[in-house]
Structure 1
Amino acid sequence: MALSTAEIMEISLDLVGWDEVPADSGIHVSGDDLETALVGIDLESPEIQLAEREGYDLVLAHHPPGGDPRVNFAPVLDKQVEFMTAHGVPEERAEEAASGIISGMEHAGHSANYRHDPSMAEHLDIPYMNVHLAPDELGRRRFREVADDLDDDATVGEFADELGEIPEIEEAITDVELRLGERDNDLGEVAIHHAAGTNGGSDVASAYFDHGVDTVLYIHVGAGDTAELREEYGDTGKNLVVTGHIASDAIGMNEFIDALEAEGLDCDTVSGCGIGR
């Protein structure tokens, strides 16, 4: 069965039970009667040209291109505060911890060439869209299940090992990294900080640690943030588990692709999608 870009977006929302398209996802060039798609984590101008040349009906990316969602990306970052307060971080502290990330994204969006990739798709008359937050939410739920299935006395090393059994992570060339803490540390309370636009850096992790969370999971983190956290929490029993960006993104995207193929869309995967499928 052929699908439209609107129907494809609706499938992504149905998978997570949402009604509204998040600000980091969008249909940049709409289309109908789509039977084939090139799907990847990052699909920009070169990949759009490749898809048009090879006769695909749709270019479906995970990460936002330089289009309107990047300009309006900041509203998605409200999830940062939502996740922190759910773990007992006071709202004022959570907002303070997320403020630098939100400001940085607002500034980046204001300076981005938001017409670059969508205009190439328009020029080539090929439908183009991206779906970011919903697949990430699928990945977040998968990580949550792993944490919840462990015994109360589990160690962070055991958590890392179980995460490494997820097919997308097992097949990736990146490994689950313990950026803060020791393998035999108690796992304790776990915050899965994924599907919030981006990682929270040292400020968000600190807010968690200071309010009872023992282990924070990010899918990626900067070296500077790691250094700050090690300096402040290096001997406190706190843990930062980092699962790997592309492998982690592939978890939700693969589930999304499975749903699309069940509805009749023939998907070819590149650029990180398809790992572990």
Structure 2
Amino acid sequence: MALSTDEIMRLSLDLVGWDEVPADSQIYVPGEGIESALVGIDLESPEVQLAEREGYDLALAHHPVGERARLDFSNVLSRQVEFMTAHGVPTGEAEAAVSELRERVELGAHSANYRHDPSVAELLDQPYMNVHLAPDEIGRRRFVEVAEGMDAGSSVGEFVTALEEIPELAAARTDVEVRVGSEDNDLGEVAVHHAAGTNGGADVARAYFENGVDTVLYIHVGAGDARELSEEYEKKNLVVTGHIASDVIGLNTLIDALEDRGVECTPISGCSIGRS
């Protein structure tokens, strides 16, 4: 059956049991009667033009591209504080750990051309939207399942092996990497830090480590942050699963749900990872 952009946004929320559209997700150009969609991690103005030229009813991106989803993106960073406090990090310390990241995101959004890609879709009358946090939450829950399924006394290397059994991570050309610590280290308490806008960098990982967490999972991390943490910690661990492969875990679930409802999806820009 044909869907509207509103129904597709609602479907993404239903997959995780949420009621409200997150600040990092938005319908830029609404559409009705959607029976085909071009779906990708990053769909910007060239891909919007491709979708219009090839006759797709919708361009469906993962990453935010503009408007409120870009300008209000920092609002989703509050989840970083929620995740840290759930692992015993004091609220004030958690807020301090994310403060520099929040400032950087807010200033970056303020300087960005938040109208660029949406305006191209408007000119072409091409339905266009992005869904970010909900698919990431699907991936986060999958990582938590793996972490909770590890036996007491497991090593970091055994955790890496278990993560690599997730189809999207198994199919990716990127590997699950231990960026801080060692595969020989004890896994200990694991904090999965994903579906909170972006990674928390060195400050957030340090807050976890200083409050009893042994292993932090990010889906990506900057070289400077990894180097800084490596110089400080030997027995703590930062496991990085790979940005695109990790994003695709949730997007594949959404694509499957759309196809079950009769929307033919063409995955590009990373979304073909792990799909047969």
Normalised by the length of structure 2, the TM-score is: 0.99
Please tell me whether residue 37 in structure 1 is matched to residue 20 in structure 2: no
1:132 maps to 132
**Following the alignment from structure 1 to structure 2, what is the Cα–Cα distance between the partners of residues 146 and 40?**
26
Listed as ranges, the gaps of 5+ residues in structure 2 are none
- Given the alignment, which residue of 253, 258, 261 partners 1:260? 258
Please tell me whether residue 102 in structure 1 is matched to residue 102 in structure 2: yes
Amino acid corresponding to residue 194 of structure 2 in structure 1: H
**Following the alignment from structure 2 to structure 1, what is the Cα–Cα distance between the partners of residues 272 and 151?**
31
**Following the alignment from structure 1 to structure 2, what is the Cα–Cα distance between the partners of residues 239 and 31?**
45
**Following the alignment from structure 2 to structure 1, what is the Cα–Cα distance between the partners of residues 209 and 258?**
39
What's the secondary structure of 1:205's corresponding residue? helix
Amino acid corresponding to residue 26 of structure 1 in structure 2: Q
**Following the alignment from structure 2 to structure 1, what is the Cα–Cα distance between the partners of residues 14 and 209?**
34
Please tell me whether residue 52 in structure 1 is matched to residue 56 in structure 2: no
What's the secondary structure of 1:59's corresponding residue? strand
Count of aligned positions: 275
- Given the alignment, which residue of 228, 245, 250 partners 2:243? 245
**Following the alignment from structure 2 to structure 1, what is the Cα–Cα distance between the partners of residues 179 and 271?**
25
2:151 maps to 151
The Cα offsets for residues 3-37 of structure 1, whole Å up to 9 and x where unpaired, read as 00000000000000100000000000001110000
Indicate if the aligned counterparts of 1:67 and 1:117 stay in contact, CA closer than 8 A.
Answer: no
What's the secondary structure of 2:158's corresponding residue? helix
Q: CA deviation at 1:165?
A: 1.2
What's the secondary structure of 1:27's corresponding residue? strand
Q: CA deviation at 1:94?
A: 0.1
**Following the alignment from structure 2 to structure 1, what is the Cα–Cα distance between the partners of residues 64 and 245?**
17
- Given the alignment, which residue of 246, 270, 273 partners 2:271? 273
What's the secondary structure of 2:174's corresponding residue? coil
Q: CA deviation at 1:66?
A: 2.6
**Following the alignment from structure 2 to structure 1, what is the Cα–Cα distance between the partners of residues 224 and 89?**
23
**Following the alignment from structure 2 to structure 1, what is the Cα–Cα distance between the partners of residues 267 and 199?**
25
Amino acid corresponding to residue 60 of structure 1 in structure 2: L
Moved segments of 4+, more than 3 Å:
none
Within-5 A mapping of 1:1-277: 1-233=1-233, 235=234, 237-277=235-275
**Following the alignment from structure 1 to structure 2, what is the Cα–Cα distance between the partners of residues 86 and 4?**
37
Listed as ranges, the gaps of 5+ residues in structure 1 are none
**Following the alignment from structure 2 to structure 1, what is the Cα–Cα distance between the partners of residues 162 and 272?**
20
**Following the alignment from structure 1 to structure 2, what is the Cα–Cα distance between the partners of residues 162 and 65?**
33
Amino acid corresponding to residue 32 of structure 1 in structure 2: E
The CA RMSD over aligned residues, in Å, is 0.6
Q: CA deviation at 1:68?
A: 2.1
The Cα offsets for residues 122-154 of structure 1, whole Å up to 9 and x where unpaired, read as 000010000000000000000000111110111
Q: CA deviation at 1:67?
A: 2.6
Q: CA deviation at 1:274?
A: 2.3
**Following the alignment from structure 2 to structure 1, what is the Cα–Cα distance between the partners of residues 172 and 182?**
23
Identity, % of aligned positions? 70
